[in-house]
């Protein structure tokens, strides 16, 4: 299979094409992938990743600063994971927009892996300005104070939560999100509380 570099490519979105392997090492002949990650990713500003793609980016086989230019990340199809770990987002330290779609995980969490102990790993939490959760069906509480997602979203300007059937509340303290200009919630049938208030 031919692998390309496309030197002017800025946006890469592939979804619902289960047989396509997006990433691969130049020297690897075992897995046929669409791109040489070391050549394509550094020029991208927007990319979509599936569960398998994220596993490859999280296991320490790529340079920590490879994803530094990505500002917009789409995440698809996490239906087999109970816990969706966001620890890999430390590699996307200029990330501004995060979309999570079609994810059946019950919890968004962060925990250390061996990849995080890599001496080249850049431990910088991105400051997300726009977050969209679409069809994240099994999550019940979005985030808690001092959670990794909470720290990432302190600069949040736009929050969109669509078709999250079992979500009970956002866990959103308005005082923690003073930059929020847009809050868009659709078809969250179990939601009983939109925001929470700070307690003195």
Per-residue model confidence as pLDDT tens digits over 128-175: 999 999 998 888 887 766 666 777 788 899 999 999 999 988 876 666
Report whether pLDDT(40) > 80.
yes
Q: Name the residue with tokens 């596993």.
A: 55
> H or E stretch including 153?
none
Q: Are 194 and 170 in contact (CB under 8 A)?
A: yes
Average pLDDT of the residues in 75-91:
75
pLDDT value of residue 16: 73
Report whether pLDDT(25) > 80.
no
Q: Are 165 and 188 in contact (CB under 8 A)?
A: yes
Report whether pLDDT(27) > 60.
no
Distance CA 192, CA 178 (A): 23
Fold of 11-15+32-196: 3.80.10
User: What pTM did the predictor assign?
Assistant: 0.82
Both structure tokens of 115: 């990849």
Domain boundaries of the chain, sorted by first residue: 11-15+32-196
Q: Measured in Å, how far apart are the chain's first and last C-alpha atoms?
A: 61
């Amino acid at each position: 299979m031919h692998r390309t570099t496309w030197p002017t490519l800025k946006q890469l979105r592939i979804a619902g094409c289960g047989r396509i392997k997006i990433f691969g090492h130049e020297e690897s002949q075992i897995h046929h992938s669409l791109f040489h990650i070391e050549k394509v990713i550094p020029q991208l500003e927007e990319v979509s990743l599936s569960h398998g793609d994220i596993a490859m980016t999280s296991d320490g086989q790529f340079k920590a600063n490879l994803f530094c230019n990505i500002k917009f990340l789409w995440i698809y199809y996490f239906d087999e994971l109970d816990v969706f770990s966001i620890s890999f987002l430390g590699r996307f330290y200029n990330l501004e927009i995060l979309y999570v779609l079609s994810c059946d995980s019950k919890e968004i969490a962060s925990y250390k892996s061996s990849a995080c102990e890599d001496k080249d790993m850049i431990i910088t939490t991105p400051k997300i300005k726009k977050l969209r959760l679409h069809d994240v069906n099994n999550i019940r509480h979005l985030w808690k104070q001092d959670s990794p997602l909470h720290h990432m979203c302190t600069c949040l300007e736009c929050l969109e939560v669509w078709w999250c059937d079992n979500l009970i509340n956002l866990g959103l303290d308005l005082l923690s999100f003073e930059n929020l200009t847009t809050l868009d919630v659709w078809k969250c049938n179990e939601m009983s509380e939109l925001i929470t208030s700070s307690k003195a």
